[in-house]
Amino acid sequence: MATLLYRLGKTAYRRWPIFIAAWLIALIGLGAVAGYLSKPMSNTFSIPGIESVEAAELQQELFPDAAAVDAPSATIVVAAPEDEQLSDEPHAATVATLVSELNALEDVADGVVGPVEAAAGLEAQAVGGVDQAQEQATAAGQPFDRDAALARATAQIDAATPLSQDGRVGTVAFTFDTPTVLEVTPEMQDEVTEVIDTARDAGLTVEVSGSAMQSMEPAGASSELIGIGLALVILALTFGSLVAAGMPIVTAGIGVGIGLTAITAMTAVTEVPSSTTALASMLGLAVGIDYALFILARYRSELEHTDDRQEAMGIAVGTAGSAVVFAGLTVIIALVALSVVGISFLTAMGLGAAATVAVAVLVALTLLPAILGMLKTKAFSLRFRRYTPAREANGHVLNHGVRWARFIGRAPLVWVLLVVVGLGALAIPVKDMHLALPTDSTAAEDTTQRKASDLVTEAFGPGRLSPMLVVVDARGVEDPQEQQAAYQAVTEWAGGQEDVASAMMATGNDKGAMILLTPSSGAEDTATEELLQSLRDGEQAIEDETGTSIGVTGMTAIQTDVSEKLADALPVYLAIVIGLAFVLLVMVFRSLLVPLTATLGFLLSVMATLGATVAIFQEGLFGIFPGQPIVSFIPIFLIGVVFGLAMDYQVFLVTRIREAHVHGASYREAVVDGFRNSARVVTAAALIMTSVFAGFIFIDEPIVQSMGFALAAAVIFDAFVVRMVLIPALMYLMGEKAWYLPRWLDRILPNVDIEGENLHRPHLEDHYAKVNA
């Protein structure tokens, strides 16, 4: 491979106009296709095999006119001042105006009702039901306990009423006239916000919650710009040249642009989920900068041994480029493996990001050499600092990488124990990790969603925010009276579960019924998850008793099931990623122990990262963030993204160690020489990634903050603790055994020559002779 890439690098450098023109044509062509033939991205996704989704489909089958579970709904929460009621004037008039203005909006479904009127209607309906039941009992000559019936009706009203007992807080529910939440536009939301602002100006406290009123603005755009700015500063300090610092940014930007336009163009021939571009943009930029940085740094290093820039470019692409190819393959494996989770939007995000990473590899191998061929001697111009490193007696560079490697080599066993014990201690909180999807109650405290959630919790209890719907399919019960008895039995069964505040039949017909179940705890509480499991465990018994078929759905149930599905897929995903990457690393390093230490080190860093995230964000350590569950998809994203980046650092660091080894250096000097040539650039790459991810911590959104923290911490732990401390210490301890490979395996493995052993490089013989002297 090194020979093939060597020729590619020289060709791209020599024939730079052709390669630059080809990439520009690709960018413009894909842009034209995306602009003229692309279709809107899909806003729907399916999650097969999830019980709550199947129950939601059953609900739509039995009650086609009822609002779907995932309908674009929202709830406006209105509150009068302390010791006042919404029925008092002028508050009643203000709420009436709010309701009428909502009903007048073109995109809001008709039938919005104020809380006072809705509460009165429920009460009248309940009393009417009691009166009807009493009449039927009297006509049949049966006794009837009106007080008990009214008590039951009152309990049902309390569970469903949109008006608090003190009359101060009320809720106004509405839906948009769109099929799904993702089709609600910011303009629709703005119209509702204007109505809310009018009511606020009139003296009411008004907040809004619900999926349909979530912000449609992409979080983190400014943070990405800050990350790119920090990356530019780090690159400038690394190369001491503004031109060289700008090249990785430019090539990475072009790679991401091509990747995103290609994804957009694919909509012309297939359905592409709208979430596909998110991960592709972030990760494509990250690895694009890294890959260009590694090749550019190797090119500058080769210029110390030759004045032939074309030859230096060939050697750089043949060696560092080989490392880029295999590092990119590990990232692609991690991303493609997201498809094992079985959630369509995750699969699409993984495949889209994998394609963008593949483009980033090709850009680094061809476009970067072409740009260097165009610039020639100006590639490192606009210098503000010259690279004049200290040298040892034999003439070789003496930098901080050399000093650090030798420092680790003095007591490698001590460093191994420190890293294992330290990262192991940080991983302890993982045992208490609670995964859940975000809700309005976990939003930032200054958001209207969080304020609305707090008002509802205070006025109605936390269970009001986490209702479940028990769907009863009674099509197998023919007798109407038996159907009604079955509905009543299921209602009583559901209401008798632990942690249930109330259970009432919302509606019913000759096909089935919907029973509204209100838990006593919130959506993110473990008690609610246990309630869902308890309902599932008892389904078979109540089905056998009533002859019906039952399912539990609702957003709380769906979110809980998705979290469980993600958690169940995590071990399988981890096994696939690590297994395939291990095979790839065995091919790269022609060793069993080096890939083994690489993957074990990664597991240490991931577990430590998850432990630190649980301690700070879930347990509220240091009081920086309020305690709340960890977002369900963070662990799987963390593993996918960070595994790719970690293997990047492993490949670039250890290939330089192996390069020294295959050219004759002793195992100790191979480690030192590897750090001499790669520690600086790996450090720069890790600092760039840390800067990009850490920027998200400053966004006032707990979910984004936890993701930014986890990704930044993972890079720090893996790059600076595992790759810079644990791996060299283990290499010292393993000695020559680090490169052990059974003969039978050596014979069947293809020789990819990632270190450029087959390239003609006469200066290396003298170099490593002096290294070992």
- pLDDT of 293 above 60: yes
Q: What is the rounded (10 degree) CA torsion for 664, 668, 673, 676?
A: 180
Quote the Cα angle for 624-626-628, to 5°. 130
- pLDDT of 754 above 70: no
Rounded mean pLDDT of the chain?
A: 83
* pLDDT of the residue at 218: 46
Q: Tokens 């020729």: give the residue.
A: 7
Q: Where are the beta strands (DSSP E) in 378-436?
A: 390-391, 397-398, 435-436
Per CATH, the number for 397-440+567-741 is 1.20.1640.10
- How far apart CA 85 and CA 302 sit, in angstroms, is 79
- How far apart CA 700 and CA 446 sit, in angstroms, is 9
Quote the Cα angle for 585-588-593, to 5°. 55
Residue-range domain boundaries for the chain = 1-37+240-384, 397-440+567-741
Q: How far is CA 520 from CA 467, 558, 626, in A?
A: 10, 18, 21
* pLDDT of the residue at 732: 92
Listed residue (371, 323, 409, 298) closest to 680, CA to CA: 298
- How far apart CA 9 and CA 366 sit, in angstroms, is 7
DSSP-based three-state secondary structure for 741: coil
Q: What is the pLDDT of residues 118-147, one digit of tens each?
A: 888 878 877 787 787 778 778 878 887 888
* pLDDT of the residue at 219: 47
* pLDDT of the residue at 368: 93
Enumerate the H helices of 463-554 as residue ranges.
480-495, 526-546
Do the domains 1-37+240-384 and 397-440+567-741 sit in the same CATH topology, yes or no?
A: yes
pTM equals 0.77
- Mean pLDDT, rounded, for 243-253: 90
- pLDDT of 21 above 90: yes
Q: What is the pLDDT of residues 527-557, one digit of tens each?
A: 888 899 999 999 999 999 989 999 998 888 8
Complete edge-to-edge strand list for the sheet that includes strand 205-209:
169-175, 73-79, 205-209
Question: Per-residue confidence at 730, pLDDT binned at 50, 70, 90?
Answer: very high
Q: What is the pLDDT of residues 87-114, one digit of tens each?
A: 888 999 999 999 999 988 888 888 888 8
* pLDDT of the residue at 612: 92
* pLDDT of the residue at 216: 47
- How far apart CA 526 and CA 531 sit, in angstroms, is 9
Q: What is the pLDDT of residues 439-480, one digit of tens each?
A: 777 777 778 888 888 898 888 888 888 888 999 999 988 888
Question: Per-residue confidence at 499, pLDDT binned at 50, 70, 90?
Answer: confident
- pLDDT of 44 above 60: no
* pLDDT of the residue at 100: 92
- pLDDT of 734 above 50: yes
- Mean pLDDT, rounded, for 335-351: 80
Q: Tokens 């595994």: give the residue.
A: 643
Half-sphere exposure of 104 (CA within 13 A, CB side): 9
Residue 668 makes CB contacts below 8 A (sequence gap 6+) with 409, 732
Instruction: Return the CATH fold of 1-37+240-384.
Output: Multidrug efflux transporter AcrB transmembrane fold (1.20.1640)
Residue 233 makes CB contacts below 8 A (sequence gap 6+) with none
- What is the widest separation between alpha-carbon atoms in the chain? 112
Question: Per-residue confidence at 584, pLDDT binned at 50, 70, 90?
Answer: confident
Question: Per-residue confidence at 222, pLDDT binned at 50, 70, 90?
Answer: low
> Which percentage of the chain shows pLDDT scores above 70?
92
- Mean pLDDT, rounded, for 618-637: 79
Question: Per-residue confidence at 770, pLDDT binned at 50, 70, 90?
Answer: low
Listed residue (538, 534, 755, 498) closest to 652, CA to CA: 755
- How far apart CA 328 and CA 638 sit, in angstroms, is 17
Q: Tokens 């290499």: give the residue.
A: 731
Question: Per-residue confidence at 424, pLDDT binned at 50, 70, 90?
Answer: very high
- pLDDT of 54 above 60: yes
State how beta strands 549-553 and 512-519 pair.
Answer: unpaired
- How far apart CA 773 and CA 403 sit, in angstroms, is 18
First to last CA, the chain: 31
